Amino acid sequence: GRLTMQEIRKALEMGYKIVEMYELWEYEVARYETGGLFTDFINKFLKIKQEASGYPSWCLTEEDKAKYIHSYHEHEGIHLDPTKIEKNGGLRSLAKLMLN
């Protein structure tokens, strides 16, 4: 069968021995590519979900809200629209459904 390197390492840790190996492929990942086939789709519904979740409870002032929007953009690369951030359970559920 085919195994990943993580599975092989775990098996060796647990005391298993490799008796025969026919082929080994190893890919070195030098960097993570943020783009991909579904990136735009995921980002669109993640933005909708976050905006429909409303502000976190710690966002009490306009400054807190601006910090939240800036922090989210830095971590996720998605700019939230402050005029659309308000709790909307139905829209949030729909966005979550699309993400799953």
Within 8 A by CB and 6+ apart from 83, the residues are none
Q: Which residue has the tokens 């735009």?
A: 40
**d(Cα 19, Cα 24) in Å, to the nearest integer?**
14
Q: What pLDDT was estimated at residue 81?
A: 98
**d(Cα 54, Cα 64) in Å, to the nearest integer?**
13
pLDDT digits (tens, 9 = 90+) for 23-77: 887 777 666 666 778 889 999 999 999 999 999 999 999 999 999 999 999 999 9
Q: Domain-by-domain residue ranges, the chain?
A: 5-99
